[in-house]
Amino acid sequence: MPDKLVSLEEALALVPDGCAITAGGFAHSHQPMGFFRALIAEGRKDLSIMGVAECWVAEWLAAAGMLRRAWFSNFMFEGFGRCRRFSEAIEAGEIETEDHSHFGMVMRLVAGGQRLPFMPVLSQGGTDIVSVAGFERPEDKVQSMTSPFPDGRVVTVTSPLNPDVAIIHAARADRLGNVQLFGASSVIEEQTGAARKVIVTVEEIVPSSTFRARPEATLLPGLMVDAVVHLPFGAWPTGVYGYHDPDLPFLRDYYEASREPAACKAWIDRHVRSPRDHWDWLDRAGIVRLLALRTDPVLGYRPAEDKS
């Protein structure tokens, strides 16, 4: 199998202007922020997102003015509130939206990944998700149809979606692109199945023997992956299960800045656009800050009493 290990710069080149992306993660976890920090620093325009829960990716792309369209089901910051720049860009007409339920969105990605013309779903029927147009015509998104089989049941069916690129942050990979992740796998299998190209950034590069010894723990086999980037703390300031907690004070600092457009722009310029590279981004955070996030291997998180 070919060697998939590439530099961050090579991987960034797989995401051109106008690209439709999807990104891994859920809540304050496993979002490929290191990759998107670098993408924003390079600059892109007219990106689309086909997303389920990658709220921080959507928010930073919106804050950087790089996002045009969103097919999605829910972007919000657990424990904080609304994604301000994303939401206000929609209010200003700068980002077009197409809403789904989580399951509806996931099943469109499944249809896309499985080369199926549609997928039946038992949710969404009877609501404005199926009847109010975003940028798609409602009939291009969801319809009801009668089963061709004898029971003739009426079911809701939803059309496929194929992102151009999926960007995932995971725990570890080998050079062949085999990928392992601990904790909840969110929508990674469906996103990578539907995407035309798959980029995975990882905490660690390990030998293939690690996978061959426990193949049942592999989330993505190498044949699903186009590029692997070794990017330690590549999800920071979001967390990586088994490695480090989310950096909630840093995330909150962004959230507070995001209430006001000028303050948010200054925050993005200072923290996201000005680091020279990933290592400078981590250096600015500081090793004390990063190491303090490391999780207890038994609990899977850093217990409250250790945080003081």
Peptide bond between residue 237 and the one before it cis (omega within 30 degrees of 0): yes
Closest CA to 191 of 50, 39, 74: 50
Minimum gap (Å) between residue 49 Cβ and other proteins: 13
Q: Are 69 and 136 within 8 A, CB to CB?
A: no
Amino acid letter, 262: A
Considering beta carbons, is residue 41 or 198 the nearer one to other proteins? 198
Q: Binders of other proteins among 132-161, rule CB under 8 A?
A: 132-134, 144, 153-156
How many residues of this chain bind other proteins (CB under 8 A)? 66
As a whole number of angstroms, the distance between CA 162 and CA 100 comes to 15
Question: Containing H/E element for 288?
Answer: helix 287-291
Q: Quick check: 288 binds other proteins (CB under 8 A)?
A: no
Q: Applying CB under 8 A, which part among 5-13, 167-175, 237-245, 277-285 lies near other proteins?
A: 237-245
Q: Binders of other proteins among 47-66, rule CB under 8 A?
A: 52-53
Q: Quick check: 239 binds other proteins (CB under 8 A)?
A: yes
Q: Are 13 and 234 within 8 A, CB to CB?
A: no
Minimum gap (Å) between residue 254 Cβ and other proteins: 17
As a whole number of angstroms, the distance between CA 15 and CA 116 comes to 25
Q: Quick check: 125 binds other proteins (CB under 8 A)?
A: yes
Selected binder of other proteins within 4, 28, 197, 271 (CB under 8 A): 28
Q: Quick check: 303 binds other proteins (CB under 8 A)?
A: yes
Q: Binders of other proteins among 86-115, rule CB under 8 A?
A: 86-88, 90-93, 96-97, 99-104, 106, 110
Question: Which residues are registered as beta bridge partners of 216?
Answer: none
DSSP 55-78: HHHHHHHHHTT-EEEEEES--EET
Q: Quick check: 183 binds other proteins (CB under 8 A)?
A: yes
Q: Are 35 and 167 within 8 A, CB to CB?
A: yes
Q: Applying CB under 8 A, which part among 15-23, 163-171, 274-282, 293-301 lies near other proteins?
A: 293-301
As a whole number of angstroms, the distance between CA 24 and CA 192 comes to 9
Question: Containing H/E element for 156?
Answer: strand 154-158
Q: Which residues bind other proteins (CB under 8 A)?
A: 26-29, 52-53, 72-76, 78-79, 82-83, 86-88, 90-93, 96-97, 99-104, 106, 110, 121-129, 132-134, 144, 153-156, 183-190, 239, 241, 245, 295, 299-301, 303-304
